Structure 1
Amino acid sequence: MIQSASAPLSTRDTQRIASHAALADAARFLHPVHQALLHRRGWLSMLAPQASGGAELPLPQVVRLEEAVATIDGSLGWVLTLCAGAGWFAGFLEPELAREIISTRRVCLGGSGAPTGFADEDGDGYRISGRWDYASGAPMATHFTLNAVLRRHGQPLLDEHGGPRIRAFLVPAAQVQLIPSWNSLGMRASASHSYRIDDAWVSKEHGFTIKPEAATAAGPLYRYPFYSLAYVTLAANVAGMASHFMQLAQECIRHRRHAGQDLPLIEVPAVAALLHNKQQAFASARSHFYTVLDDSWAKVAAGETLTAADMNEVQNTSLALTAVSRAAVNELYPLCGLYAAREDSVINRVWRDFHTASQHPLLMSL
């Protein structure tokens, strides 16, 4: 069951996520209640084609759901986003293989985009070896996606520009060895560990190309550009965490007093103005972000191809929302007091999650 776009999360699901977030953070992996919710709601296959057993939801609905989850718990929102995003790749696999994978019990696709391994041609398939980092949700993954340099007889194959040819692959978890390596300050429950593969053979059908013209599913979701999809889903997560932080920061400020003026801190004009300005700037950037997302989706759904200008607008509004979120978190945190520095406080966990998630290389605004 997938919630409607008008109500991304039910009250009950919101309570389930919130009440187990601290336990998940301490355990450094999603709580079993969180995992069960992901599977029960079908969220991990919400971007997979309907023909393969997925929900194939409209992208704006997906992004709003991801933001709603991240607003409650950053780690769960991140795992949902990255693993559902890997499920989107089913729209580029051979349909029979896609159905087989998406029908897997408690299916969850994890992975990494860095081309830090090799795929050597071997008969009707490839032998894959390498190590990949930052696979969010790795302990619950049933399959892993990866990028690898293609080789023939040990020599890299070259593309039309003279660089190494890179191909995406999907590998069953049984052929993968997890490497516990996720020791970050925040996003602890995302368990974004490394993994390695040692000379695992997969058939050629397990390789795929992520381009609209290479899609094997016919829906508009698979004609939406990959990097545009990545920008909007990542930015929505960061926005969700920032929104949560601002809510908690306002409560902290409300309960503090200004030492010099002996006033509730929230009543100090400069503080009240700062809080208001950050909230308004965030609301404006978020509204524009969704306007651009909705417009871009409408174009693709109508059969149009996004132009370079369209894709740049999607990227720029995503980065603008991220920048406004960073400014709000960074400027309000010093007003929150020592409670916000306590590792066992909710606001501290949200602050840690935000600063870890916003390190994603696509979200650099320089």
Structure 2
Amino acid sequence: MLPLNTRDADRIRRHVAAADAARFLHPVQRALLHSRGWLSMLAPRAAGGAELPLPQAVRLEEAVAAVDGSMGWVLTLCAGAGWFAGFLPPHVARDIIGTRRVCVGGSGAPTGVAEEEGDGYRITGAWDFASGAPMATHFTLNAVLQRAGQPLLDAQGAPRVRAFIVPAAQVQMLPSWQCMGMRASGTHRYRIDAQWVHADHGFTISPDAATAPGPLYRYPFYSLADVTLSASIAGMASHFLQLAREQIVRRKRHEVSLLDTHAQALADARIHFFAMLDSSWAQVESGKTLDAATIAAVRAASLGLVGAARAAVNTLYPYCGLWAAEEASPLNQVWRDFHTAAQHPLLLP
């Protein structure tokens, strides 16, 4: 699978403005996500996913975000949720990934409860910020485990939290996404009211708990989140720089040299980022476990990339004129998308 071919990029680009206006991805964009199998690219091959090497998937996410931030974000978050299939019982993973037009959305906050009931759990709660929610066939969530209405505690006396995956038929989506940017990402709230799921729809996100044998499921979760989110942000920043260059040159501004400086800083941070990603992936692929120093280095490279992206966008925006402030301008949309996505808490130092 190539990162992104010209034809697919053009198909995405043609519908960016319409998707932003409609506040969700255009049907052509959604069809492309499904026909290319991108939403299951991190799911196990044995379950019907592509199980792409992580560096390849991250480069694709960056490339899509460089065309449309909302589509890149939906791809990043929903493919990331599909990765959880590598921690489910194989028969459950096959059923989910085999769903027609499968798309997994979800939220990581433990804002619900799961009451033990028979050989499963009855789940109740509400969760925020599920990107791709309007097209999700399944939702993941974290919930506090309960028995007879009382939280179950771990060895340290803290409430036990477990991850679950639930079919969309048991979920009520609550349209709530009203942010200035990422309008087409459909990052809505959702609710579950006393819905029962079998225990085999619960899972633990840990290399030791992986049910799929590939290296993709031995790569640490937070490191995977760091590299995928950061690459998506970098893609949006590169799109901004492209549009900013056109505007600054057209206005005959003298800030082209400043733009070149930031473009080079972003390029250098990107080279370092992918070197760390490729190196860490090679370690996991060879059977090694990433040590704390390597995990820290991956995060530092990810945050360095985000920092270079923030510096470039924030420094150059004032030199793009009032056109950049017009809501209908492509540059304004990219600026809005970038700053909305960059609010994700994992992108903060």
TM-score, reference length from structure 1: 0.95
Whether the aligned pair in 1 keeps the contact of 2:248 and 2:256 (CA below 8 Å) is: no
1:34 deviation in Å? 0.5
Deviations 1:173-230 (A, max 9, x none): 0000010100010000001000000000000000000000000000000000000000
Match of 1:102, as an amino acid? I
More deviation in 294-303 or 247-256? 247-256
Q: What is the CA–CA distance in structure 2 between the aligned matches of 1:74 and 1:226, rounded to whole Å?
A: 23
Deviations 1:290-310 (A, max 9, x none): 000000000000000000001
Q: What is the CA–CA distance in structure 2 between the aligned matches of 1:250 and 1:162, rounded to whole Å?
A: 56
Where in structure 1 do 4 or more consecutive aligned residues deviate above 2 Å?
none
Q: What is the CA–CA distance in structure 1 between the aligned matches of 2:196 and 2:92, rounded to whole Å?
A: 16
Matched, 1:33 2:17: no
Matched, 1:104 2:88: no
Matched, 1:15 2:10: yes
Q: What is the CA–CA distance in structure 2 between the aligned matches of 1:255 and 1:334, rounded to whole Å?
A: 15
Give the equivalent residue in structure 1 for 2:308: 324
Alignment of 1:162-241 (within 5 A): 162-241=157-236
Alignment of 1:306-345 (within 5 A): 306-345=290-329
Matched, 1:359 2:347: no
Deviations 1:1-32 (A, max 9, x none): xx23xxx1111101000000000000000000
Matched, 1:149 2:149: no
Q: CA RMSD in A?
A: 0.6
Matched, 1:245 2:229: no
Matched, 1:295 2:290: no
Q: What is the CA–CA distance in structure 1 between the aligned matches of 2:182 and 2:271, rounded to whole Å?
A: 26
1:113 deviation in Å? 0.3
Deviations 1:36-91 (A, max 9, x none): 00000000000000000000000000000000000000000000010000000000
Deviations 1:90-112 (A, max 9, x none): 00000001001100000000000
Deviations 1:293-340 (A, max 9, x none): 000000000000000001001111101100110000000000000111
Whether the aligned pair in 1 keeps the contact of 2:245 and 2:256 (CA below 8 Å) is: no
Match of 1:70, as an amino acid? A
1:162 deviation in Å? 1.4
Gaps of 5+ in 2: none
Q: What is the CA–CA distance in structure 2 between the aligned matches of 1:159 and 1:301, rounded to whole Å?
A: 33
Q: What is the CA–CA distance in structure 1 between the aligned matches of 2:173 and 2:267, rounded to whole Å?
A: 40
Q: What is the CA–CA distance in structure 1 between the aligned matches of 2:90 and 2:288, rounded to whole Å?
A: 24
Gaps of 5+ in 1: 257-263
- The structure 2 residue matched to 1:66, chosen from 61, 78, 90, is 61
Q: What is the CA–CA distance in structure 1 between the aligned matches of 2:278 and 2:148, rounded to whole Å?
A: 47
Whether the aligned pair in 1 keeps the contact of 2:112 and 2:125 (CA below 8 Å) is: yes
1:343 alignment partner, SS class: coil
Give the equivalent residue in structure 2 for 1:261: none
- The structure 2 residue matched to 1:347, chosen from 331, 334, 345, is 331
Q: What is the CA–CA distance in structure 2 between the aligned matches of 1:279 and 1:105, rounded to whole Å?
A: 41
1:285 deviation in Å? 0.3
Q: What is the CA–CA distance in structure 2 between the aligned matches of 1:109 and 1:280, rounded to whole Å?
A: 36
1:273 deviation in Å? 2.7
Alignment length (residue pairs)? 349
Q: What is the CA–CA distance in structure 1 between the aligned matches of 2:237 and 2:5, rounded to whole Å?
A: 21
Q: What is the CA–CA distance in structure 2 between the aligned matches of 1:329 and 1:275, rounded to whole Å?
A: 10
Q: What is the CA–CA distance in structure 1 between the aligned matches of 2:9 and 2:268, rounded to whole Å?
A: 25
Match of 1:278, as an amino acid? H
1:159 deviation in Å? 1.2
Matched, 1:88 2:88: no
1:272 deviation in Å? 2.9
1:292 alignment partner, SS class: helix
**Identical pairs, percent:** 69
Q: What is the CA–CA distance in structure 2 between the aligned matches of 1:296 and 1:227, rounded to whole Å?
A: 13
Q: What is the CA–CA distance in structure 1 between the aligned matches of 2:310 and 2:256, rounded to whole Å?
A: 19
Q: What is the CA–CA distance in structure 2 between the aligned matches of 1:216 and 1:282, rounded to whole Å?
A: 38
Match of 1:173, as an amino acid? A
